[in-house]
Amino acid sequence: MSYQKIAMAPDKKIALVAHDNKKQDLVEWAKYNRVLLTHHQVYATGTTGDLLQRELQLDVIKLESGPLGGDQQIGAKIVQGEINFIIFFWDPLEPLPHDPDVKALLRLAVVWNIPIACNRATADFMISSPLMGGEYDRLVPDYAGYRTRQITLGAGTELTGGSVLEVG
């Protein structure tokens, strides 16, 4: 498979997300790293965004709450190239009514090779990395072949690159 390089600017676009039982942990982490975060554009879902803005006096682009579509908004922004870094403190011991949304967000982070930290230790390593302050070429699989693949629909009909073809 071939890859394409997608440049990440020195000022990253970071999504900060936390489930209810992890919001305090994320706020404490963000306070500790406030100076570093001021060099980047911060996005957050729902209540997490309100807490971060209030506690850190930081500009935050606020999206919907996770269960109301905020996780999916972040996923869409990943696909559009508007988010290139995620800190997502989720609670592995709590059942989540919107678990499919969480899995979809994590899946998109992997599909588009987005750095993602799901706990404080990983977030500490990532935010303090020398790669944070400079440009970085993120390697993403070239999905052109996937987008133009041929799918047989049956009865002599095929779908190729978004076009329906009658065969035979």
Closest residue by Cα to residue 127 from 90, 85, 89: 85
Alpha-carbon span 93 to 112, nearest angstrom: 27
3-state secondary structure of 65: coil
Pairing mode, if any, of strands 163-166 and 60-63? unpaired
35 neighbors 61 (Cβ within 8 angstroms): no
Number of helical H runs and strand E runs in the chain: 7, 10
Q: Does the annotation count 25 as an active-site position? A: no
Q: Is the dihedral of CA 6, 58, 45, 103 positive or negative?
A: positive
Output the CA–CA distances (angstroms, integers) from residue 21 to 44, 69, 89, 140, 144, in the order listed: 16, 19, 9, 33, 40
Q: Of 25, 71, 101, 142, which is the active-site residue?
A: 71
Report, as residue numbers or ranges, the catalytic residues. 71
